[in-house]
């Protein structure tokens, strides 16, 4: 099964017909990458001049915008450069939001916007701990920011000005990954969940869902045997293309490339068209008990991430 599902969209604000929208959401929720080979996020000459690793704080992997406060962090450039980068990220946020609302209209009222990021640093050869090494296959989960079952949806655009592709690898289905790692993950008590929040290790209490997802993420990356033995598919994602993927579901690794824009959104699993494909459903079926903290009417990310 080809992990990439090409969709013919070439306009961030254009309309799509119902057949295209249905095809896109079926592919996305069933663990494919919705690939938009004709969807370019065009940069001006001045914006292209901002694509320099020298403008990214060396302590950070990227430059990021909080779309709720409008503040940008991770920049070490001049004040005018910071303003230009803020404007660029604001524009990408608006374009990505319009795209998701168009392709997946049923999501529109349920989206919580996460950070907008510009990744200018070359992935290949970057030194980091195994937990932060995105060149190892993993599914996304956050140690400090529990999502309590919410989906992690990401829009990417390759804006490399030198014609260099972004190289990804993908691995097994989420259910196969979960069957491999869940048996070796110890449970966590309600007291431990609360203490993590009390001592500000997590921004909200860590649900059982987050506990198991984080352990899957870490154990995938830590196991060299797994990384070497698992069957991988290599993808070349060219400049002037974009793609959309549930990174909590699709096992992925960024192998090489730089100059990529990214927008994160969070969605409750209850609004999925195919809820049986969600990591929450898969894990609850395996473990035979609920994994989320109830009585949360709004996204746990609304305040916590920022």
pTM over 0.75: yes
Higher pLDDT among residues 196 and 116, named by residue: 116
- Given this model, what pLDDT does residue 123 score? 87
Mean per-residue pLDDT, 107-120: 95
Torsion sign, CA atoms 283, 192, 137, 57: positive
Q: At residue 202, does pLDDT exceed 70?
A: yes
CB atoms within 10 A of CB 278: 23
pLDDT of residue 127: 63
Note the pLDDT tens digit of each residue in 219-239. Answer: 999 999 999 999 999 999 999
The pLDDT, as a whole number, for residue 58 is 85
Report pLDDT digits (tens) over 31-67: 999 999 999 999 999 999 999 999 999 888 799 999 9
Residue 8 has pLDDT above 60, yes or no: yes
Which residue pairs from 276-284 have beta carbons closer than 8 angstroms and sit at least 24 positions apart in sequence? 277/29, 277/30, 277/31, 277/249, 278/29, 278/151, 278/249, 279/139, 279/174, 279/178, 279/209, 279/213, 279/248, 279/249, 280/149, 280/209, 282/174, 282/175, 282/178, 283/178, 283/182, 283/209, 283/212, 283/213
Cα–Cα distance for residue pair 210/293, rounded to 1 Å: 10
pLDDT at 303 over 50: no
pLDDT of the residue at 190: 76
Averaged pLDDT score across all residues of the chain = 92
Q: Which is nearest to 121 in space by CA: 262, 266, 264?
A: 262
Model confidence over 241-281: pLDDT tens digits? 999 999 999 999 999 999 999 999 999 999 999 999 999 99
Name the more confident of 75 and 302: 75
In the predicted model, is pLDDT for residue 302 greater than 60?
Answer: no
pLDDT at 301 over 90: no
pLDDT of residue 144 exceeding 70, the answer is yes
- State the pLDDT at residue 99: 97
Domain that holds residue 239: 4-304
CATH code, 27: 2.60.120
The total number of structural domains in the chain stands at: 1
């Amino acid at each position: 099964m080809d992990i990439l599902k090409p969709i013919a969209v070439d306009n961030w604000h254009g309309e799509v017909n119902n057949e295209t929208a249905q095809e896109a959401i079926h592919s996305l929720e069933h663990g494919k990458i919705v690939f938009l080979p004709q969807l370019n996020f065009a940069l001006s000459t001045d914006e292209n001049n901002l694509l320099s690793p020298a403008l990214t704080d060396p302590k950070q992997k990227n430059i990021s915008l909080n779309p709720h406060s409008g503040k940008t962090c991770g920049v070490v450039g001049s004040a005018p450069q910071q303003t230009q980068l803020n404007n660029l990220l604001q524009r990408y946020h608006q374009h990505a939001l319009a795209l998701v609302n168009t392709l997946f209209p049923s999501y529109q009222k349920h989206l919580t916007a996460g950070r907008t990021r510009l990744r200018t640093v070359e992935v290949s050869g970057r030194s980091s701990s195994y937990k932060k090494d995105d060149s190892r296959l993993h599914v996304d989960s956050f140690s400090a920011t529990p999502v309590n079952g919410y989906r992690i949806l990401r829009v990417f655009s390759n804006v490399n000005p030198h014609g260099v592709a972004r190289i990804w690898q993908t691995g097994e289905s989420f259910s196969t990954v979960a069957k491999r790692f869940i048996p070796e993950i110890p449970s966590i008590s309600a007291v431990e969940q609360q203490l993590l929040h009390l001592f500000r290790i997590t921004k909200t209490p860590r649900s059982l869902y987050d506990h198991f997802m984080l352990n899957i993420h870490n154990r995938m990356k830590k196991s060299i045997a797994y990384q070497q033995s698992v069957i991988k598919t290599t993808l070349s994602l060219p400049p002037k293309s974009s793609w959309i993927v549930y990174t909590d579901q699709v096992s992925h690794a960024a192998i090489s490339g730089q100059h990529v824009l990214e927008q994160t959104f969070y969605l409750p699993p209850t609004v999925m068209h195919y809820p049986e494909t969600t990591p929450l459903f898969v894990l609850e079926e395996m473990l035979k008990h609920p994994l989320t903290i109830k009585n949360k009417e709004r996204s746990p990310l609304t305040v916590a991430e920022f």
